[in-house]
């Protein structure tokens, strides 16, 4: 059906147009289309324009948004807004698929609050962690309102963010367990090996828990008067740590622990006090995951957790471990393992391994010596540079007085790099320790592993420990891509909630990377080329996404996701005043 215009020439030579509502039908006799008139509107210059407009609006209510906009394309179209939507939309789809949305809604429902709103607010904070520039909670509210696409949430306040964080941390234990089993079932995760690593971070505050008001997060810091740093020591969860890995001993520290699978999926994240011992950390981590009734698990940890007490605790309940041993430590077993002869065999690339036995007792451990020839060459080259610098530094010290030489030796000894290769003769002269150099040369390219498991081959042990890189990569992504810092929270529960938000962001990020086979940076950069454009015409307003590129379709296909809806939020234009009930008169 269409609007048909016919023209007639009058006797005086003028032309008059007539409008009619018509449709075509093929004549069975001639096979030619024939117009059938449904209604005559009369002369085009005398037609009721408002009646035609009402007819168009009435029809538009039953059209697809695309057809409605196309129908009005001949009119003026105004672009009202445009914002990237691709990465946030993808994160939202994975959020639902991994069961995170349902788990949060379940936790929130127990609080007698708007569970759907809380879930959306928490997702908005996670989506912001995944964006190009993660922001504070306050700035994130503006981001949601003006720059981001969060399906189901167009505005949020900082107070709503804080309340949602309180709900999150209040039910985090149940949430972590629910999300873990949901992700494990969905992705068929292998949890026979769990990699654990720790890091530390700091917060931009000069006060500890005792000096804080309950709602300190919701207030401005400028008027706060905290005690001098000298008066602050190990109290509360956050402690000032002179051995800060971040080189910020002036700020309160916390220790974070992360367990990941061999695929790099973060299972769980813990927050510990800034000066917590490794024994306390290991006990807490093993007990927490033990309550999930996982099957046989082998823990993979770095050299910082290799104490006998930690190893014994990991073996409780049938557990096992693979830990790195310090090559230059005080362990007699490690020294004995390194001295044992044996033949290396190649595992992959430049990695060679050999297994040695130290004790034939019932509680014996297996030791695997790993050797990388390329790394050995690099170690030798670095040592050569160190020795050359050291030789230059001590070349003229023989001419010094005994007192000056002793002081100079003390100064050089403060640098571990030099101290390792420096010795004093009986006469007090400084020389390079050639015996120490020879000992170090024997360790070039090597690292030593220790395991309690008898079922793994030496190759599996070496490759398993090598995969500990996934946990370390998790921390790098958390601190760089997700921007764990800076954080200005003061309350302990809000600090822990912020860490858990970063864990949820890392979980979504890592699942996307594993499924697509590309980095989140590349995925995000490609998908954020998808924009949601809001424009208005005489028929109303509509939000429409841009067309997808072949690469964007590849990413969605790898994740088994359908294309995003093409249209959002179609709102027909309001009827003119006084015409809400006016019928369409033909």
Asked whether residue 382 carries a pLDDT value surpassing 70, the answer given is: yes
Q: In this structure, are 544 and 580 located in the same domain?
A: yes
In this predicted structure, what is the pLDDT of residue 577?
56
139: left (phi over 0), alpha (psi -120 to 50) or beta: alpha
- Cβ atoms 193, 467 nearer than 8 A: yes
* CA–CA distance, 121 with 115 (Å, rounded to integer): 10
Q: Compare 330 and 28 and report the one with higher pLDDT.
A: 28
Q: Span 316-327, mean pLDDT?
A: 86
Contact status, residue 543 vs residue 576, Cβ threshold 8 Å: no
Q: Which of 114, 214, 118, 130 is nearest to 168 (CA)?
A: 118
Share of the chain above pLDDT 70, in %: 84
Same domain membership, residue 419 and residue 382: yes
Cα–Cα distance, 298 to 396 (Å, whole number): 54
Is the model's pLDDT at 356 over the cut of 50?
yes
Instruction: Reduce the DSSP state of residue 513 to 3 states and report it.
Output: helix
Q: What are the contacts of 30-39 at 24+ separation with CB within 8 A?
A: 35/4, 37/4, 38/1, 39/586
Q: If you ran DSSP here, which 8-state letter would residue 222 be given?
A: G
Compute the distance between CA of residue 422 and CA of residue 404 in angstroms, rounded to an integer. Answer: 16
- Which tens digit of pLDDT belongs to each residue from 418-441? 999 999 999 999 999 999 999 999
- 315 falls within a domain: no
- Mean pLDDT over 10-37 rounds to 86
Structural domain contains residue 225: no
Mean pLDDT of the chain: 82
Residue 503 covered by a domain:
no
Owner of token pair 């130290």: 358
Alpha-carbon Rg for the chain, nearest whole angstrom, is 35
Mean pLDDT of 338-359: 86
Vertex 565: Cα angle to 559 and 571 (nearest 5): 155
Can you tell me the distance from the alpha carbon of 451 to that of 463, in angstroms, rounded to the nearest whole number? 13
Burial of 495 (0-12, 13-18, 19+ CB in 10 A): buried
Could you tell me the residue range of the domain that residue 31 belongs to? 2-47
| Distance between CA atoms of residues 160 and 167, nearest Å | 11
Query: Which two structure tokens, joined as six digits, stand for 419?
Result: 């101290």
Q: Given 441, 462, 493, which residue is the final one in a domain?
A: 441
Q: Which residues contact 505 (CB under 8 A, 6 or more apart)?
A: 126, 129, 130, 482
The answer to whether residue 547 scores a pLDDT higher than 60 is: yes
- pLDDT at residue 122 greater than cutoff 90: yes
The pLDDT, as a whole number, for residue 530 is 96
What is the total residue count of the chain? 586
Q: What token pair was written down for 167? A: 């709900």
Average the pLDDT over 513-523 and give the result. 94
pLDDT category at 279 given cuts 50, 70, 90 is: confident
Residue 15 belongs to a domain? yes
Tell me whether residue 20 is in a domain: yes
The stretch 247-255 carries a mean pLDDT of 68
Q: How far is CA 231 from CA 239, 240, 488, in A?
A: 12, 11, 21
pLDDT at residue 443, as a whole number: 92
Q: How many domains does the chain have?
A: 3
Residue 480 lies in a domain: no
Q: How far is CA 327 from the centre of its chain?
A: 34
Residues 500, 146, 102, CA angle at the centre, nearest 5°? 35
456, pLDDT greater than 50: yes
Note whether 305 and 313 are within 8 A (CB): no
Asked if the bond preceding 337 is cis, omega within 30° of 0, the reply is no
386 occurs within a structural domain: yes
Give the pLDDT confidence score for residue 67 in this predicted structure: 62
Least confident range from 83-97, 346-360, 408-422, 565-579: namely 565-579
In terms of Cα–Cα distance, which of 229, 272, 228 is closest to 249? 229
pLDDT band at 350 (very low <50, low <70, confident <90, very high): confident
Can you tell me the distance from the alpha carbon of 539 to that of 68, in angstroms, rounded to the nearest whole number? 7
Q: Does the residue 137 lie in any domain?
A: no
pLDDT, tens digit (0-9, with 9 covering 90-100), for 215-242: 444 443 333 333 333 333 334 454 544 4
Q: Are residues 431 and 382 in the same domain?
A: yes
pLDDT in the model for residue 423 = 94
Rounded Cα gap, residues 480 and 196, in angstroms: 19
Rounded to an integer, what distance in angstroms lies between the CA atom of residue 228 and that of residue 236? 16
Is 138 a residue whose pLDDT tops 80?
Answer: yes
Give the pLDDT score at 485.
57
Identify which of 202-216, 252-266, 422-436, 572-586 has the greatest average pLDDT. 422-436
Burial letters 512-528, b for 16+ CB under 10 A, else e: bbebbebebeebbebbb
Higher pLDDT, residue 402 or 471: 402
DSSP-assigned letters across all residues of 91-106: HHHHHHHTTHHHHHHH
Number of C-beta neighbours around residue 8 at 10 A: 10
Query: Is the full-model pTM beyond 0.85?
Result: no
- State yes or no: pLDDT of 199 exceeds 90: no
Among 21-30, 82-91, 250-259, top mean pLDDT goes to: 82-91
Please give the average per-residue pLDDT across 277-285, as a whole number. 88
pLDDT at 534 over 50: yes
Average pLDDT over residues 153-170: 94
Q: Which of 61, 21, 179 is nearest to 575 (CA)?
A: 61
The pLDDT assigned to 94 comes to 96
pLDDT given at position 192: 76
Task: Give the pLDDT of residue 68.
Answer: 61
Angstrom distance (rounded) from CA 290 to CA 93: 30
What token pair was written down for 358? 């130290």
Rounded to an integer, what distance in angstroms lies between the CA atom of residue 458 and that of residue 463? 9
Residue from 387, 384, 386, 371 nearest 443 by CA: 371
Residue 132 is given by DSSP the state S
Q: Is the pLDDT of residue 463 over 90?
A: no
Instruction: Give the Cα separation of 149 and 51 in Å (integer).
Output: 38
């Amino acid at each position: 059906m269409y609007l048909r215009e016919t023209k007639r020439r009058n006797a005086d030579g003028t032309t008059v147009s007539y409008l009619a509502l018509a449709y075509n039908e093929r004549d069975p006799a001639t096979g030619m289309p024939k117009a059938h008139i449904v209604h005559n509107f009369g002369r085009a210059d005398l037609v009721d324009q408002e009646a035609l407009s009402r007819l168009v609006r009435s029809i538009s209510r039953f059209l697809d948004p695309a057809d409605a906009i196309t129908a009005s394309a001949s009119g003026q179209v105004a672009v009202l807004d445009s914002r990237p939507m691709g990465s946030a939309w993808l994160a939202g789809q994975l959020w639902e698929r991994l069961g995170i949305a349902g788990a949060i809604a379940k936790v929130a429902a127990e609080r007698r609050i708007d569970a759907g709103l809380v879930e959306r607010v928490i997702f908005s904070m996670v989506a912001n962690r995944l964006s190009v520039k993660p922001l504070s909670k306050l700035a994130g509210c503006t981001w949601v309102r003006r720059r981001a696409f969060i399906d189901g949430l167009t505005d949020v306040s900082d107070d709503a963010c804080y309340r949602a964080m309180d709900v999150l941390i209040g039910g985090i234990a149940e949430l972590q367990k629910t999300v873990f089993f949901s992700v494990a079932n969905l992705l068929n995760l292998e949890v026979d090996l769990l990699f654990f690593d720790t890091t530390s971070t700091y917060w931009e505050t000069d006060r500890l828990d005792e000096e804080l008001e309950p709602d300190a997060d919701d207030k401005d810091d400028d008027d706060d008067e905290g005690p001098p740093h000298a008066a602050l020591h190990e109290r509360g969860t956050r402690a000032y740590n002179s051995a800060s890995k971040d080189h910020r001993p002036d700020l309160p520290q916390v220790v974070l622990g992360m367990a990941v699978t061999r695929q790099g999926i973060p299972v769980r994240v813990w927050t510990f006090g800034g000066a917590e011992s490794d024994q306390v950390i290991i006990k807490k981590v093993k007990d927490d995951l033990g309550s999930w009734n996982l099957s046989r698990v082998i823990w993979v940890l770095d050299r910082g957790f290799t104490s006998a007490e930690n190893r014994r605790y990991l073996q409780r309940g049938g557990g096992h471990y693979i830990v790195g041993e310090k090559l230059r430590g005080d362990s007699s077993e490690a020294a004995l393992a390194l001295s044992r002869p044996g033949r290396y065999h190649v595992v992959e690339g430049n990695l060679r391994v050999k297994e040695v036995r130290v004790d034939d007792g019932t509680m014996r451990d297996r030791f695997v010596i790993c050797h990388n020839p390329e790394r050995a060459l690099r170690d030798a080259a670095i040592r050569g540079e160190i020795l050359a610098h050291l030789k230059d530094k001590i070349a003229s010290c023989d001419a010094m007085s005994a007192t000056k030489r002793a002081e100079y030796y003390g100064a050089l000894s403060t640098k571990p790099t030099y101290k390792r290769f420096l010795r004093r003769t009986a006469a007090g002269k400084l020389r390079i320790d050639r015996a120490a150099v020879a000992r170090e040369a024997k360790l070039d390219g090597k690292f030593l592993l220790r395991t309690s498991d008898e079922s793994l081959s030496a190759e599996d042990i070496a490759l398993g420990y090598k995969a500990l890189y996934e946990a370390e990569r998790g921390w790098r992504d958390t601190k760089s891509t997700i921007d764990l810092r800076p954080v200005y929270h003061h309350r302990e529960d809000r600090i822990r909630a912020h860490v858990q938000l970063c864990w949820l962001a890392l979980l979504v990020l890592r699942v996307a990377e594993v499924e697509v086979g590309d980095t989140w940076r590349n995925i995000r950069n490609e998908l954020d080329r998808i924009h949601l454009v809001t424009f208005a015409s005489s028929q109303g307003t509509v939000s429409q996404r841009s067309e997808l590129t072949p690469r964007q379709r590849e990413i969605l296909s790898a994740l088994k996701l359908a294309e995003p809806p093409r249209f959002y939020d179609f709102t027909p234009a309001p009827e003119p005043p006084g015409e809400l009930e006016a019928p369409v008169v033909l």
